[in-house]
Structures are given as C-alpha cells and as structure tokens.
A and B are shown apart, each in its own frame.
Chain A
Amino acid sequence: MNAREHLNLSPDSAAVRRVPTGPARRGPSGIEPARLTAGQPGTARGEVHRQQGRVVIDARGVYYKTLNEQIREEIEQGAREIVLENVIGQRYIGTGLAYRGVTVIVNGVPGNDLAAFMNGPTLIVNDNAQDGVANTMNSGLVIINGDAGDVLGYGMRGGSVYVRGSVGYRVGIHMKAFGDSRPLIVIGGHARDFLGEYMAGGEVMVLGLGPNDDPIVGSYIGTGMHAGVMYIRGTVAPHQLGKEVRHQEPGPEDQARIREIIHDYCQVMNISEAEVLARPFVKIYPYTSRPYGRLYAY
C-alpha cells in the first residue's frame, strides 16, 4: 500500500499535489513566481463579474480544469455570453460544451484542443489559437481572429470554423459529413501540407488573403480524399495535389455555393466580399469514393 492509499487521499487532494514548484519567490527579473502560471495544476478560481446574462472570468493563473468547470457552472446558472480575459494556454476551452445560444469569447491565446467535440455554442478567439482546434466538433461556430496551429478540424462532423489568418499542417483531415451535418472550414490566409487529407465529407475553403507571398496551400493536398470538396482561391500546381484528387474550374452550382460561403465569412470577419470574389477559385474534388478499394486486392 502506498502513502496515497494509506492516507485515503484522492489524486486531486491538495495534500498529495506535487506543486507548488518553480521559483517560489520573485526572481531577479521581478516577475511573479513560476508556480503561479496557468499551466500549473491548482485550484485557484478565476475572479467572476456577472452582469445580467454576461459573465466575465479572469483566467490569469487559473488551471484549465478549474476554468472549464467555471465556464460550465456559469452557463448552468444562466449565462449566455462568457468573456474569458487573460487566457494563456488553458486547454480544452469549449471542449464538449453542448449548449445552444451560448457565446464564449476568449481574449488571449487558448491552449490545445479548443472546441473539441463542441456541440452548439459560438466560440470567438481574439488572438492566435494553438493546435487541435475543433477536433471532432459536432455543431456550432468557431471564429479565430488570428492564426491557428496544426490539425484544425480533425474528424470534424458539423458546424463551421472561420479563421482570419493562416493555419498550420494537416487541417481538415478526416472531416466527414452525414445527413444535414456538413462541416465547413474557411481559412482567410494560407494553409500548409496535408490539407483535407483522407477527407470524407464537408467543405474546406482557403482564401490566401494578406501580404504573404507563400503558396496558398502546401503539398499533398487531399491525399486519400474520398468525399467532400475544397475551394482554393488562386492557383494550385498539380505537384501540390495528392494522387486521389483532381482540380477544375468551379461550375455554376459551385460558384453559387462559393458566393454563399464568402458572404457569411465576410460578414463575420467584416471584410469586403467583392475583393475576395475578385480572384477565381479552383475546385478540388476526389475522383473516386474508394481510392484504396483495389489497394490490397488484385
């Protein structure tokens, strides 16, 4: 029997916590002790200001677990808009959140797996986001007013993600659609390699806005893709594409859909629709629904 069992303490008990750690006193540079960073496990709660349906939570130094508990508590108690101030790296914000008509506004850089499995709410980030945004998201809207990291929208099943800036590698991989659920990712800037890899449904749009001269998308676009569609504003060279996709000029139906997506995106992002539509799009689509159907059967 180890000490923990002997004392009958839960793993979360403060008595067995291995923190506080890090320089306990203010160091030579005078900033606060390392153990007060939000990344350190702890039970300190964020200060809350309530104003009718609007709630402001100060996330400074609050561990992700506590912060996410606080968000749920406030929603259960009737909050319709939650503003998180001083967010710095807290993971899982909005993850598994399944309340319709709720808006969560994040001021600061949220941690990984933002809005994973989210079902319904609107989540707005007023800074850059990290990796794994909207992992397996079911419904709702995520707006990122900065850049986002790798693996955005992995296995996404519904809802929309709007990114103002650029995104990293492996965005929209394994996205899927079913019935009325059709996930949508719109990227204002650029996307890197493996965009829409193994995509099984839904829509991805990359606009390539901004002064950046980089290629709008990277390589291996749509490798193994077997359903869904991608719209890229600008040109895509054949060597950038995966073996399972083709590209062509969008037809009239596609054009209508592109205008629809752009209209919504530009309204949210407050940018000129005409300017975005001034450059032609390329449509990328899978040439077969079973690209590997004959891989192991000759």
Chain B
Amino acid sequence: MRSVRPAYREESEPRILGGCGLMGVCDQSGKRMSGELAVRAMASMHDRGNGLGGGFAGYGIYPELPDFFCFHLLYNDEVAKDDTEFYLKKHFKVVIEEPIPTKPVRGIENEPILWRYFLDIPEERLVETQLSAEDYVVHTVMDINTYLDGAFVASSGKNMGAFKGVGFPEEIGEFFRIDEYKGWTWTGHGRFPTNTPGWWGGAHPFALLDYSIVHNGEISSYGINRRYLEMFGYKCSLQTDTEVVTYLFDLMLRRHGLPVEIACKALASPFWKDIDLMPKEQRRLYTALRLVYGSALLNGPFAIVLGMADGMVALNDRIKLRPLVAARHGDVVYVASEESAIREICPHPEESWMPQAGEPVIARVSEKGRRKALTQAKQSAGQRRIAQIHTTAGVT
C-alpha cells in the first residue's frame, strides 16, 4: 500500500520547548509590501517554533491575474499530480499551470511537488451545478483534499497565495522566495506541533478561498466544530485543528454574511456572566449569537490571524491564553506573538497595545487602495511573463 501522507520529519534531538509564533501585517492604504517583512518578523521569533512547520500568506501578490482563482497544490508524487490535473482540467479552464518558484535551501528537505494553477470557471459548469463560483471552488478543494490521494490544496483564493511547509519559517520563506512577492497583507507562522504531526499539508496558514488562518494554540472543541462544519459540506482532512477555524470563517463571513466583528464574537463569545451584565439589546444579540452558533464556539487557547481579501483580523481566545500584541504606524497595522517581532520590522510604531481577550483587532484595506495597487503595480520580469502567457492564452 502506498503511504497516504508525506513523510514526517523527526524532531531535532535536543528538544527545545516553545510555542507557535505568528505575525500579520496589513497596509490599510493598499500599498504593497515585500514578503521580506513577514520573513524577517518570523525569523526574529525563530525559537518559538521547532522547525516542523512554517508558512506565509500574501494578499495582492498576483496583480496581473486578480480575477482567477489561484490554486497552490502540494503533491506527494507524480501520480497525485496527474490525477489532480485531470480533475482540474475537467472542472476548470486552466489559464496557467506552472511550478511554484522555489530555490534550494539548507534545512528544507523531502519537499512535495509544488505547483500552482490559475483557474477560471466555465460559465456552463456553474449553470449546470447551480453553485456560486465560490461554492464551486470550495467543493473542488474538499474533493481534492479528501479523495485525491497525496494531493493537498494549500490555497485557493484570488490574488493571494499560501506558501507553507516543514522547516523554520525563515527557511520556508527563502525556499518559496517570499521576498520577491509584494502584497498589502502578509501573515506568517512558525510551528511547534503538539498534538498533530508536522507535515507539509499541516503547516499553517490554512486557506480556503480568500480566507487564511495562522494559529497559535489548540482548538479543544475541534470535534464539535468539525461535526458542525460537516453539515455544511466542509470536510476536515488535514489532520490539524486549525483547519476548522478557516472553514468557520468561510461559513460565517461568506455564506452567512455576518460582519467580521460578529463572527469573532461567535468564535470567542463572551461568558454568560458577562452577557447578564450587558444592556438589554446587547444581551439579546449575544444570547442569540451563542444559541445559533454554539457549535462554532472555539474552546481552548488560541491566538489567530485571519487574512481576508480586504484586510486582516487578529483574535484571542476568551481568557487570553496565548500571546498577541498589536501596533499601528500610519496606515499599517501589525500583530505578532511578541512585540519584539513587530519592532524588528517597525522600530518605532505610533502606538502598540495588547488586545483584550476575545476582542478582535481589525485592519481593512480600502477598496480604492487595492485598485490603485493593482493598476500601478510595477511588474517584475516574472510577472511580465505571466501577463504575456495570459494575453497569448486569449483570456479576457
């Protein structure tokens, strides 16, 4: 029998205790920053992880092709790749398919086959399946992750991408040449796996459509959340608790249309004793929220950073069991597990604070800023090449 999952790497011999480290940076004006910032902040928190997982998510990194779904795929072997490509070509119009650019880095070994696809959905497929484009993509991702042996979708959003693997985050960043991308939002993660294996698909961020999550902590309510999500067609197949957070945000923000502030209050809801002290209207709202979304409540310690098409949200559990610091300088909002990581990339922020338990830090990139960033993006040689393929492919 073929092995089902990629090989796990042994932990380093001297076992150094740590905890995951995470960061997020978001320029609300829509100006794009080099991924180098995220790599640098994560490099300064090297000792929080143990080299068994690192990753980054960037938004605004594919300005030439902002209208196509970009799938980042991890394949164990050629068979998985062939199977998946057969599947993708059957269900999508593949605009570009190419390897994800990497370079050899000491410390990164046993990497899977890494490929990316820019995909368009044929109109007739949507008519036929009676799905929205987003739901169509969600189905695809669930299918690949669940049924195609040895193939995993790292990200599937528009004008964004998740780059992840086994290694320290700064190694992963260099491996994927993160510093050559520019984005208005970046999130980063260094992993210290506790309950689940350290493998390429299990590294953070976990992404679905435009939503990506990096997480420090553990979701003790994973079983409840997972069963809840299964009712809506989400299948958890990546062997890690963090996966449910991504799907919960997709469910609440995209499908149920909740404002992100409210979604955060469902995930890290106030205690009943605090709800009792609220004014009547507020009390009714929070009572309803806890009743409707009881199964979406995240129990256990967590600090998460959610990346979205239009911004970034950082959130702690209800009693602040994991570290999270935020800072702002001009239009740029920073969050990280340690204040020193923020100072590494922004030495003198205008303000810095420790977010309260369950109180989200929200950064929003203005629509105007994002449009401007797309039209004025300076093209690198690689981007020009992509644009060229794009025009010769005759896609409008």
Contact = CB atoms under 8 A, between A and B. Distances in A.
Given A21-B168, A147-B354, A28 B36 contact: yes
Contacts of B180: 28
A247 interface: no
| Secondary structure class of chain A's binding surface, majority of residues | loop
Contact of B43 (A22, A28, A169, A219): A22
Interface string B315-344: 000011001010000000000001111011
Contact of A23 (B33, B173, B319): B173
A91 B47 CA distance: 10
B320 A169 contact: yes
Interface residues of A, number: 41
A201 B320 CA distance: 25
Nearest to A24: B174
Contacts of A4: 13
A136 interface: no
Contacts of B319: 169, 193-194
B36 A23 contact: yes
Contacts of B182: 28
A23 B338 CA distance: 21
Contacts of B34: 27-29
B339 A35 contact: no
Contacts of B51: 18
Nearest to B37: A29
Contacts of B353: 147
Contacts of B47: 39, 41, 64, 91
A28 B170 contact: no
B323 A34 contact: no
Interface stretch (A104-112, A174-182, A228-236, A267-275): A104-112
A1 interface: no
A157 interface: no
B46 interface: yes
B204 interface: no
Nearest to A131: B323
A250 interface: no
A130 interface: yes
A239 B34 CA distance: 48
Contact of A192 (B170, B173, B341, B356): B356
A39 B37 contact: no
A28 B179 contact: yes
B179 A130 contact: no
A112 B323 CA distance: 11
Contacts of B106: 18, 21
A130 B340 contact: yes
Contact of B40 (A24, A34, A219): A34
Interface string B270-309: 0001100100000000000000000000000000000000
B44 interface: yes
Given A109-B339, A109-B340, A22 B173 contact: yes
Interface in B234-283: 273-274, 277
B45 A27 contact: no
The 8 closest A-B pairs by CB, nearest first: A89-B340, A22-B170, A39-B44, A27-B36, A34-B43, A27-B179, A37-B44, A169-B320
21 contacts: A21-B106, A21-B174, A22-B43, A22-B171, A22-B173, A27-B179, A29-B34, A29-B36, A34-B36, A34-B170, A39-B341, A39-B344, A40-B170, A41-B46, A89-B45, A89-B340, A89-B343, A108-B343, A110-B340, A147-B354, A193-B357
Interface of A: 4, 11, 18, 21-24, 27-29, 31, 34-35, 37-41, 64, 88-89, 91, 108-112, 128, 130-131, 147, 149-150, 166, 168-169, 192-194, 219, 239
Given A35-B170, A88-B343, A128-B339, 15 more contacts: A21-B171, A27-B36, A28-B34, A28-B182, A31-B36, A39-B344, A40-B44, A64-B47, A88-B340, A89-B340, A89-B344, A150-B320, A192-B320, A193-B357, A219-B274
